[in-house]
Structure 1
Amino acid sequence: MVRVHFSVEDWGLLRYAPRPSPLPELHAALLMLGAPHEALLMLGAPHEALLFGRWRARTARALPAAAGPLADLVPGGSAPAFLDVLGETRQEGFAQMRAAAPELVRSELERVYTGRGGPAPAWVRSLHAGGPEGWRTLAGAQRAAYETVLAPVWGLVQDLHRAEFARHAVALAEGGPAAALTALAPGSAFEGGVWTWPAGSGSGDVRLGGRGLVLLPTFHWRGGPLVQDLPGRPVVLAYPAGPGLPPVPEGAGGPEEPLAGVLGPTRAALLRALPAPRTTTELARALGVSAATVSGHTAALRAAGLLTTARTGRSVHHSRTAVAELLLR
């Protein structure tokens, strides 16, 4: 389990990232993309592994060769710490990364390559030496990966972050800092100045030591906390948040849409046609099917807990449930 140790000073330095950061979100997505299927089953519920499996297959097919050098930085599954930066844009995050102390870059590359057979790729050796070619290769690989993985869903990530920010603010106002922290991770506990994450979230002790803690939700990772812990900087803890489903671009659908594959295209389209309550007749007109067909589908969705129906006079109005909202997101 992971244990985060707070000092008295750290309470005054505890904050929540006001906006998402592209590079940590990208690195979380790439971690999820590279995790073995068995590891996904250990990270969360089987249905999450299946849903992310569909996302992984689609993303892996789309990822361009230009993003390939990023894999060279994690030869054994452990990334160098100089990649741990924030920044509200990809460019700002890369500038922070580029400003890392040369000795940190060298020591971290040596750490991840220790014990690995064969020499590091030429561009990694250039990065180790502080050469411009190494940094150009890294910048190009991150840009290619971002444009493929995150750019199509970045608006949704921002919406999810705002919702998570508001949820945390309410928990903080109602229960105080300790209660708000434990609400972020089901099964976690706070006692004696130590925030303990449940078993299965990784292992180790994180000592804040007066540096403070920044909480950063991530929507592409379903494992334990991802900790950025560098000397002289606030510790950043990225935790899995959101509905537990991979973000998909607006308008994504058809045979590649996971929900349509489970419910069928008509029922998935019916749920998407309900941003606000609608009558059976309105749904039939929107979907281009008969009212009797709509009634059959709404009955099935209602029985599955995805839809509610309320009568107003002679009309009935159908609405999505909270579970359906999460599935659609």
Structure 2
Amino acid sequence: MTRIHLTAEDVARVRFAPRPAPVQELNAAFTMLFGRRDELLFGRWRRRVLRSLPGAVEPLGDLVPAGRAPVFLDVLGETLDEGLDLVAAARPELVRSELERVYAGHPSPRWIRELHGGDGDAWRVLRRAQRAAFETMLAPVWPLVRDLHRAEFARGALAFAEHGVGAALPALVAGSRLRDGVWEWAAPGARDVRLDGRGLVLLPTFHWTGHPMIQDLPGRPVVVTYAAGPGLPLAPDGAPDSADSLATVLGRTRLALLLLLSREHTTTSLARRLGVSNATVSAHASALRGAGLITTARAGRSVLHLRTALGTLLVGDRPRP
């Protein structure tokens, strides 16, 4: 059983990662490629990827034998370069201890031993391998990953705003529950993680079907990477229209309202533009405001609404209706 212990301060600091993390998504995909056998859903994808991987990726397989990845690879970072820089900035003692854990009782390749010693050439080998793997496995579908992340972000934000942490957090992981400040779910091995005020970051991944992966590094918020999306490997030629994806999550009226609010509107103005009643606009605005996507302020007898930076991040550069 995995248990995450949250204090009252941690509950107030639960948040979604605003953007997908390229290196973490790569970790999930690479582990799915070699360490988890989900042949029915991922078999065809696995065979296609294995045929296309360049030789430069091979060292990454050495570093993640049988799906046992060292935790210094678990980084966020909103761009690939930022993530790779965070990997390279890992504390030497963490790198050494994790390589010793992964290769406990087994001989390691020479370059892994050099990485253990902090050799600069070995770090460059790792960076080339990660970049080559990302370009082959994820770059062709990264626009779809971003769109799916926005939709999952919106769904989660609305669920937390409308139902609260107690109901929305367990809904992210099938079979999990939140009771007496402990979020728990069945998983191989027992693990207890205490946040102690560090907060919790929720990161959806779209190349993984297993139990949530936990990043627990000293002095940092704990990151839970959980399986989201359609449950199928992504294909660059199968991307759904991102506006349709958001409309499915938010509802078409809420999405249209959010798009209009790139500039300030009154409730009456929104109702007129959308062809709905003032009461309907107020109800949708309340849900979007609770999710942090819009702000509302009174100006005399009028109520003014405006999209927040978070709302703008969600809708990207889509045109107003």
Which whole-Å CA distance do the structure 2 matches of 1:204 and 1:153 have between them?
Answer: 33
- Match for 1:5: what amino acid? H
Q: Which region of structure 1 is more displaced relative to structure 2, 9-18 or 69-78?
A: 69-78
Q: Please, which of 160, 163, 186 is the counterpart of residue 175 of structure 1? A: 163
Matched with 1:222 is 209
Q: Give the Cα separation in 1 of the matches to 2:190 and 2:30.
A: 21
Alpha-carbon contact 1:55-1:246 (below 8 Å) kept: yes
Contact 1:76 1:112 in 2 (8 A): no
Are residue 237 (structure 1) and residue 224 (structure 2) matched?
yes
User: Whole-Å Cα distance in 2 between the matches of residues 159 and 53 of structure 1?
Assistant: 24
What's 1:208 paired with?
195
2:36 and 2:69 map into 1 onto residues whose CA distance is: 16
Please point out which of 55, 58, 62 is paired with 1:72.
62
Matches of 1:18 and 1:161, distance apart in 2? 8
Partner of 1:10 in structure 2? 10
Counterpart CA distance in 2 for 1:76 and 1:249 is 27
Identity %, equivalent residues = 62
- Where does the alignment leave 5 or more consecutive residues of structure 1 unmatched? 41-48, 253-270, 276-329
Deviation at 1:133, TM superposition (A): 0.5
Structure 2 residue identity aligned to 1:32: M
Contact map agreement 2:56 2:132 (CA 8 A) in 1: yes
- How many pairs are equivalent? 242
Distance in 2 (CA, whole Å) between partners of 1:31 and 1:185 is 19
Distance in 2 separating the partners of 1:235 and 1:22: 18
* 2: CA distance, partners of 1:19 / 1:74: 25
1:100-115 alignment, distance < 5 Å = 100-115=90-105
Q: What CA distance in whole angstroms lies between the structure 2 residues aligned with 1:100 and 1:212?
A: 21
Q: Give 1:77 deviation, angstroms.
A: 3.4
Name stretches of at least 5 consecutive residues in structure 2 with no aligned partner: 245-321
Q: In structure 2, what is the equivalent of residue 152 of structure 1?
A: 140
In structure 2, how many angstroms separate the alpha carbons of the residues matched to 1:251 and 1:218?
17
Q: Is the partner of 2:18 in helix, strand or coil?
A: coil
Aligned to 2:234: 247
Structure 1's 100 and 161: CA in aligned 2 closer, same or farther, altered over 3 A?
A: same
- CA distance in 2 between counterparts of 1:195 and 1:133 reads 42
Q: Which residue of 2 aligns with 1:124?
A: 112
Report if aligned partners of 2:200, 2:224 keep a CA contact under 8 Å in 1. Answer: yes
* TM-score, normalising length: structure 2: 0.72
Q: Distance in 2 between matches of 1:224 and 1:205?
A: 15
For 2:78, the aligned partner's letter is E
The change in CA–CA distance for 1:75 and 1:246 in structure 2 (over 3 A counts) is closer
Secondary structure of 2:78's aligned partner: coil
Q: Given the superposition, is the C-alpha separation of residues 115 and 77 from structure 1 closer, same or farther in structure 2, using an over 3 Å criterion?
A: farther
User: Do the aligned partners of 1:2 and 1:196 also contact (CA within 8 Å) in 2?
Assistant: yes
**TM-score, normalisation: structure 1:** 0.70
CA RMSD of aligned residues (A): 1.9
* Aligned match for 1:184, one of 159, 172, 188: 172
**Partner SS state of residue 68, structure 1:** helix
Deviations 1:186-223 (CA, angstroms, capped at 9, x unpaired): 221111001112x3466422211111110000000000
Q: Which residue in the other structure is 1:294 paired with?
A: none
Return the alpha-carbon distance in structure 1 between the equivalents of residues 66 and 188 of structure 2. Answer: 19
Q: What's the secondary structure of 1:215's corresponding residue? A: strand
Deviation (angstroms), 1:76: 5.0
1:151-203: CA deviation from partner (whole Å, max 9, x where unpaired): 00000000000000000011011101121101111221111001112x34664
Aligned equivalents of 2:10, 2:53: Cα separation in 1: 40
Matches of 2:238 and 2:93 in 1, distance apart?
46
Deviations 1:263-308 (A, max 9, x none): xxxxxxxx99xx8xxxxxxxxxxxxxxxxxxxxxxxxxxxxxxxxx
**Offset of 1:36 from its aligned partner?**
4.8
Q: What's the CA shift for 1:243?
A: 1.1
Alpha-carbon distance in structure 1 between the residues aligned to 2:13 and 2:20? 19
